């Protein structure tokens, strides 16, 4: 590719040089030669022999100048075009490396012109591909790790039943059912995460009342809240907090955040839900007591399969996908997630742009 493009660029330069030489040649033959004849006649000198000598000399010098210009044009064009096409050549090599699975390869950026901008955009694309590939590999490893525990338990129970070590009692069957439900829930979580990854291009936003959606979500968690004797405190404006978002995806965000807060809040404590708006963005934060969460855990809370409280088992602590789904859905809306520790309480939430079309009817679920 480089050789053919180099030949094309040099050919273009040669055509330009050749056109310039032809223009100069015709200009001398017509204008300069005519002026020479007029000058000779003015001084009463016969122009015929001198005119022929003048044209021969001029043509000879033009031929030498043409040869020198061609040589100089070829040499300079080769050197300059090679320098200009260097990033493109490197980009072609990096493309082959990325196609072969080496996603860390990058194109060196040496200029700020269009070629440099292309190299910068190419590197940005390579970074995205590297991140996607890293997430894919991590997800495969994490899913396999998560599936191994319940499958191992099920296999152990079945072997014990088959060998007669355990009787086929209702308690044993209940344990098998619990492990099976864990597998089903894990598969559902992974499927929900995959859908959240692809949510950006399929959003159906409309105006919704965020306050009402938060209260409706809390109603679904009333049994769990009452079981742990939790107190819910909603800090929000009395007027509706209108936001332009996809209600289905936003409802999933609120369910996951509510489930996380209820699941990890110590019994008989308070959960505060803070909803604020600055006119352009809306911020929602779930605040509850943090038992074993450390400041070092905060940057990883929204990572897939990460659990901040190491003492919790997978059976009680979930698969660590809920907050990852929150991040994906919030990112799809153009918002940001946050997690902070303040005086022994953890603040986990998100910020979303309010959007436009605030005059449309509100809806909330």
pLDDT at residue 352 in the model: 92
Q: If you average pLDDT over residues 69-87, what whole number do you get? A: 74
User: Do 80 and 148 share a domain, yes or no?
Assistant: no
User: Do 331 and 297 share a domain, yes or no?
Assistant: yes
User: Do 168 and 247 share a domain, yes or no?
Assistant: no
- Residue 206 φ/ψ, nearest 5 degrees: -155, 170
Final residue in a domain of this structure, among 87, 102, 117: 102
Place of tokens 């099976």: 180
Neighbours of 262 (CB within 10 A): 19
Which CATH number is 217's domain given?
A: 3.30.565.10
Q: Return the higher-pLDDT residue of 5 and 237.
A: 237
Residue at 145 is within a domain: yes
Instruction: Please state, in angstroms and rounded to a whole number, the distance separating the CA atoms of residues 241 and 39.
Output: 92
Domain boundaries, position 37: 2-102
Residue at 56 is within a domain: yes
CA quadruple 226, 227, 233, 237: dihedral, nearest 10 = -60
Residue 115, pLDDT > 60, answer yes
Residue at 141 is within a domain: yes
Q: If you average pLDDT over residues 148-173, what whole number do you get? A: 81
Residue at 123 is within a domain: no
Q: How many CA atoms lie within 13 A of 280 on its CB side?
A: 2
pLDDT at residue 112 in the model: 73
Residue at 120 is within a domain: no
Burial class (CB in 10 A: 0-12, 13-18, 19+), 187: middle
Q: What percent of the chain has pLDDT over 70?
A: 76
Q: If you average pLDDT over residues 316-320, what whole number do you get? A: 53
User: Do 333 and 257 share a domain, yes or no?
Assistant: yes
User: Do 158 and 72 share a domain, yes or no?
Assistant: no
User: Do 288 and 312 share a domain, yes or no?
Assistant: yes
pLDDT at residue 286 in the model: 95
Instruction: Please state, in angstroms and rounded to a whole number, the distance separating the CA atoms of residues 33 and 26.
Output: 10
User: Do 319 and 217 share a domain, yes or no?
Assistant: yes
Q: If you average pLDDT over residues 270-276, what whole number do you get? A: 93
Per-residue pLDDT tens for 288-309?
Answer: 988 777 787 888 788 766 655 4
Least reliable range by pLDDT among 202-206, 228-232, 246-250, 333-337 = 202-206
DSSP assignments along 83-117, one per residue: HHHHHHHHHHHHHHHHHTT-TT-------SSHHHH
Please name which of 283, 296, 300 lies closest in space to residue 352, comparing C-alpha atoms: 283
Residue at 9 is within a domain: yes
User: Do 172 and 217 share a domain, yes or no?
Assistant: no
pLDDT at residue 153 in the model: 80
Residue 233, pLDDT > 90, answer yes
Q: What percent of the chain has pLDDT over 90?
A: 16
Residue at 12 is within a domain: yes
Residue 75, pLDDT > 50, answer yes
pLDDT at residue 48 in the model: 61
pLDDT at residue 47 in the model: 56
Per-residue pLDDT tens for 240-253?
Answer: 888 999 888 898 89
Which CATH number is 167's domain given?
A: 1.10.287.130
Neighbours of 50 (CB within 10 A): 14
Neighbours of 359 (CB within 10 A): 7
Q: If you average pLDDT over residues 35-55, what whole number do you get? A: 61
Residue at 173 is within a domain: yes
Final residue in a domain of this structure, among 146, 176, 197: 197
Q: Are 156 and 192 in contact (CB under 8 A)?
A: no
Residue 46, pLDDT > 60, answer no
User: Do 98 and 187 share a domain, yes or no?
Assistant: no
Please name which of 150, 364, 348 lies closest in space to residue 265, comparing C-alpha atoms: 348
User: Do 221 and 162 share a domain, yes or no?
Assistant: no
- Show Cβ contacts of residue 108 under 8 Å, excluding neighbours closer than 6 positions: 87, 90, 119
Place of tokens 């590719």: 1
Instruction: Please state, in angstroms and rounded to a whole number, the distance separating the CA atoms of residues 219 and 141.
Output: 36
Please name which of 56, 305, 279, 315 lies closest in space to residue 182, comparing C-alpha atoms: 315
Q: Return the higher-pLDDT residue of 184 and 349.
A: 349
User: Do 211 and 166 share a domain, yes or no?
Assistant: no
DSSP secondary-structure letter at 272? E
Segment holding 231, helix H or strand E: strand 231-235
Helices of type H across 198-246: 210-220, 222-227
Q: What tokens does 343 get? A: 């005086």
Please name which of 257, 267, 214, 233 lies closest in space to residue 347, comparing C-alpha atoms: 257
Q: What tokens does 86 get? A: 């260097």
Final residue in a domain of this structure, among 81, 102, 123: 102
- Count of domains in the chain? 3
Q: Quick one: CA dihedral 242, 245, 246, 249, positive or negative?
A: negative
Q: Are 146 and 305 in contact (CB under 8 A)?
A: yes
User: Do 192 and 251 share a domain, yes or no?
Assistant: no
Per-residue pLDDT tens for 172-202?
Answer: 788 788 778 777 777 776 776 666 665 555 7
Give how far Cα 178 sits from Cα of 157, 167, 182, 187, Å.
12, 17, 6, 14
Percent of the chain as helix, strand, coil, to the nearest 5: 65, 15, 25
Least reliable range by pLDDT among 53-57, 131-135, 250-254 = 53-57
């Amino acid at each position: 590719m480089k050789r053919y493009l180099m030949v094309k660029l040099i050919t273009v330069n040669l055509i330009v040089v050749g056109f310039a030489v032809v223009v100069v040649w015709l200009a001398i033959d017509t204008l300069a030669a005519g002026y020479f004849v007029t000058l000779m006649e003015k001084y009463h000198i016969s122009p015929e022999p001198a005119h022929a000598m003048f044209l021969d000399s001029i043509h000879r010098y033009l031929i030498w100048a043409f040869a020198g210009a061609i040589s100089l044009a070829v040499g300079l064009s080769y050197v300059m075009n090679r320098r200009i096409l260097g990033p493109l050549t490197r980009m072609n090599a990096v493309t082959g490396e990325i196609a072969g699975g080496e996603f860390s390869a990058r194109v060196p950026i040496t200029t700020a012109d269009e070629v440099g901008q292309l190299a910068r955009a190419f590197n940005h694309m390579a970074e995205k591909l590297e991140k996607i590939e890293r997430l894919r590999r991590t997800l495969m490893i994490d899913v396999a790790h998560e599936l191994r525990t319940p499958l191992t338990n099920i296999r152990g129970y079945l072997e014990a039943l088959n060998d007669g070590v355990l009787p086929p009692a209702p308690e044993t069957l209940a344990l098998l059912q619990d492990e099976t439900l864990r597998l089903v829930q894990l598969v559902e979580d992974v499927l929900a995460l995959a859908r959240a990854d692809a949510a950006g291009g399929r959003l159906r936003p409309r105006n919704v009342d965020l306050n009402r959606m938060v209260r409706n979500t809390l109603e679904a968690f009333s049994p769990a809240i009452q079981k742990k004797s939790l107190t819910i405190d909603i800090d929000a404006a009395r007027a509706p907090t209108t936001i332009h978002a996809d209600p289905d995806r936003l409802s999933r965000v609120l369910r996951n955040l509510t489930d996380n807060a209820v699941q990890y809040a110590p019994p008989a404590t308070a959960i505060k839900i803070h909803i604020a708006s600055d006119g352009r963005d809306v911020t929602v934060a779930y605040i509850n007591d943090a038992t074993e969460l450390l400041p070092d855990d905060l940057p990883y809370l929204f990572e897939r399969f990460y659990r901040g409280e190491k003492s919790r088992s997978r059976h009680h602590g979930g698969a660590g996908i809920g907050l990852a789904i929150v991040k994906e859905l919030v990112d799809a809306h153009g918002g940001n997630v946050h997690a902070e520790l303040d005086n022994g309480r953890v603040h986990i939430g998100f910020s979303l742009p309010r959007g436009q079309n605030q005059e449309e009817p509100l809806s909330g679920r």
